Amino acid sequence: EAACVFAEVKILVLSQGHPGVVGYKGCFSDGGVKSKQWSLVFDYYQHGDLYDRIAQGHGLMERDAMPLLNNLLCALVFLHDRDIFHRDVKPENLLMADDGKAVLADFGIACLISDKDELKQISGTVAYAAPEMLQGESIGYEGDAFGAGVVLYCMLSRSMPFLAPS
């Protein structure tokens, strides 16, 4: 739906300017404004995502995980300073750059912290979402911090801290 695409594009435009945030280049459609097919164009990261990197190894050593966590936290501070709540921080949304740094991507459910109606929506990936987000009671950036903590746990242990079938 075009409205969802436009909402994501709005957030992407606001989020540009940090090396830890995926570079957004633009969008196009196969037709007019009411097109059913939209394509968003981003920087390309040939090294996959953090999930793939974790899955290929036996977890990361602290010395390897800390710089990646630092990349993520710096990107989140940048976003939060712009009132953007990512809402889906997870290894699959951290792309690996050529220099080995992690780059935050997938702003499909991101919103502005001022959008109180959107904050009440249950969102995020269950295994990485803060309890407040799963209860529709999110009021701030706590969900991004919680997701970053789960990402760190996954990097170090190569497992999930919670069983989260639902």
Of 38-42, 90-94, 121-125, 152-156, least confident by mean pLDDT is 121-125
Does residue 71 contact residue 103 with C-beta atoms inside 8 Å? yes
Rounded CA separation 87/80 (Å):
11
Question: Residue 164: its pLDDT value, please?
Answer: 60
Question: Residue 23: its pLDDT value, please?
Answer: 97
Identity of the amino acid at 61: M
Tell me the catalytic residues: 88
Residue-wise pLDDT tens digits, 135-152: 888 878 999 999 999 999
What global pTM score does this model have? 0.91
Q: SS3 for 92? A: helix
Question: Residue 146: its pLDDT value, please?
Answer: 95
Residue-wise pLDDT tens digits, 29-59: 887 666 678 899 999 999 999 999 999 876 7
Q: What is the mean pLDDT of the chain?
A: 91
Task: Work out the average pLDDT over 100-123.
Answer: 93
Look up residue 127 and give its DSSP letter: T
